[in-house]
Amino acid sequence: MEILFEEEADFRFAMNLVASCTWQTKGVIVLTFEIMKNHLHVVMSGDRARLLEWFSLFKRRLQRYLADKGIVINLSGFEASLFPIDNLETLRNTIAYVNRNGYLVDARYTPFSYPWGANRFFCNPDIPFLQGIPYGNLTFREKRQLFRSHAIDYPDDHLVMDGYILPTSYCNLALAERMFQSARSYFFLLSRNVEVYRSIAVQLGDLVYYTDDELFLVVRQLCKDAYGNSRPASLPKDAKLEIAKKMHFDYQAGNKQIQRMLRLEERDVVALFGK
């Protein structure tokens, strides 16, 4: 898809749109979500027809919002892809995958600072101290501005902060957190389950992003499995070039990452993949 959400105002609208669609679509429970520039990930439960109804509502409202801004985008490719989650382990991995997505794409953030989703509210002891304004306290004009709509029916007790309704008001975070054995196990999955995230990304059609630390763990394992040596820098050059191909094609590693981790010359990497 083309870029859908570019300015902060676009992301705030999308946050409020998730809240509105969740409120309007009965029988749907949202555990977590994250909004990217041209798509969104949502972990939710409910009847399949209800989930599709949720997405259809989101898409119609988004189309109207973009049209009001004078932006003409063909949203025919913006379709829901539903992937069933049939066991607890997959649910845990998927929640962690969604909650880490934004910071992997944008190096300015961590999973706890990326602002456009429910991710930063997970296992967060400061939640009770958030100073939001109850939706019911907003003026009629402020409510219309929040949703960019004449329809402003929404729970009065849900909290608004920084221009959007807090996900703590409409996401079932308590239920999502109970899926994990502890906060520690959640944090571990958020940062270490690299191969599982790759399989989820492939299923979703996402590009896979890794931090240097995560990718280095992958590279060590690749070297150990293929050559019985978990020290990539000590491999012969031919072996390094084979590992480099796996890093590039299977893990979307950049040329600089490949050079650093395998101690290869720039000219060797450029010869394989170009600049």
pLDDT at residue 233, as a whole number: 85
Residues 65 and 144 in one domain: yes
166 and 230 within one domain:
no
Q: What's the pLDDT band for 255 if we cut at 50, 70, 90? A: confident
Is 258 found in the same domain as 141? no
Q: What is the mean pLDDT of the chain?
A: 88
Examine residue 189 and state whether it is found in any structural domain, yes or no: no
Helix 8-24 to helix 140-147 angle, to the nearest 10 degrees?
100
pLDDT single digits (tens) 3-34: 899 999 999 999 999 999 999 999 999 999 99
* Together in a domain, 37 and 162: yes
Token pair listed for 79: 């379709």
Q: Are residues 79 and 131 in the same domain?
A: yes
DSSP label at residue 194: H
**Containing domain of residue 46, as a range?**
8-183
pTM: 0.76
| DSSP designation for 136 | G
Read off the DSSP letter of residue 70: T
What are the phi and psi torsion angles at 34 (to 5°)? -150, 135
Give residue-wise pLDDT tens across range 36-56. Answer: 998 899 999 999 999 999 999
224 with 113, same domain: the answer is no
Counted domains in the chain:
2
> How do beta strands 133-134 and 29-35 pair?
unpaired
CA–CA gap between residue 226 and residue 148 (Å, rounded):
56
Residue 103 domain-assigned? yes
Q: Are residues 245 and 152 in the same domain?
A: no
Residue 197 has pLDDT above 70, yes or no: no
Considering the domain architecture, whether residues 175 and 217 belong to the same structural domain is answered as no
Positive/negative CA dihedral, 82, 200, 18, 32? positive
Which one of 135, 164, 183 terminates a domain? Answer: 183
Pick the closest to residue 30 from 157, 167, 122 (CA basis).
167
pLDDT value of residue 209: 59
> Residue 203 domain-assigned?
no
- The confidence band for 194, taking pLDDT boundaries of 50, 70 and 90, is low
Q: How far from chain centre, in Å, is Cα 178? A: 20
205 within domain boundaries:
no
pLDDT the model gives residue 188: 83
The tens digit of pLDDT for each residue in 244-253 reads: 998 888 777 8
Q: Same domain, yes or no, for 38 and 169?
A: yes
